[in-house]
Amino acid sequence: MKIRVFTVGFLLIAGFALSADIDGKWSGQYNSGMGDPMTLVYTFKADGNKLTGTSLGGPDTYIPIKDGKIDGNNISFVVVVDFGGQEMRFNYKGVLSGDQIELTFEVAGAPPTEGGAPQKFVVKRAK
């Protein structure tokens, strides 16, 4: 019984320690293949297994991330962008590894031939 309690306690502490490592600003380049690469910037804050924060949406425009979750070193969140009155949901999944996160995103409802296929890029902790 003591071993089971210790193991559960250790896993909870390890999970919180890992989630705390995501707090801060992260940035990276995404190359869509249509012109210059786009710089993507996120600010993350962990609260247990909940992930909150913002995505830079333009000069001085920050979009709150929604439905953020942390599961060990895996994260997921949604960014909802308004394009001239039309809402687009970007669904993100990522894996935290040290000072970088490998992210993929899909545009909800978009067919793979129109940007709905998972896109990959890496963001790194801003120093």
**What residue spans define the domains of the chain?**
2-125
pLDDT interval class at 57 (50, 70, 90): confident
- Taking the whole predicted model, whether its pTM rises above 0.85 is answered as no
Q: Are 118 and 102 in contact (CB under 8 A)?
A: no
pLDDT interval class at 110 (50, 70, 90): confident
Burial label for 88, CB within 10 Å (0-12, 13-18, 19+), is middle
Q: Are 89 and 66 in contact (CB under 8 A)?
A: no
Q: How far is CA 122 from the centre of its chain?
A: 10
- Write down the pLDDT at residue 60: 82
4: pLDDT strictly greater than 70: no
pLDDT interval class at 112 (50, 70, 90): low
Percent share of the chain, pLDDT over 70:
80
CB atoms within 10 A of CB 1: 5
Query: In whole angstroms, what is the distance from residue 8 CA to residue 1 CA?
Result: 11
Domain 2-125 has CATH 1.20.1260: no
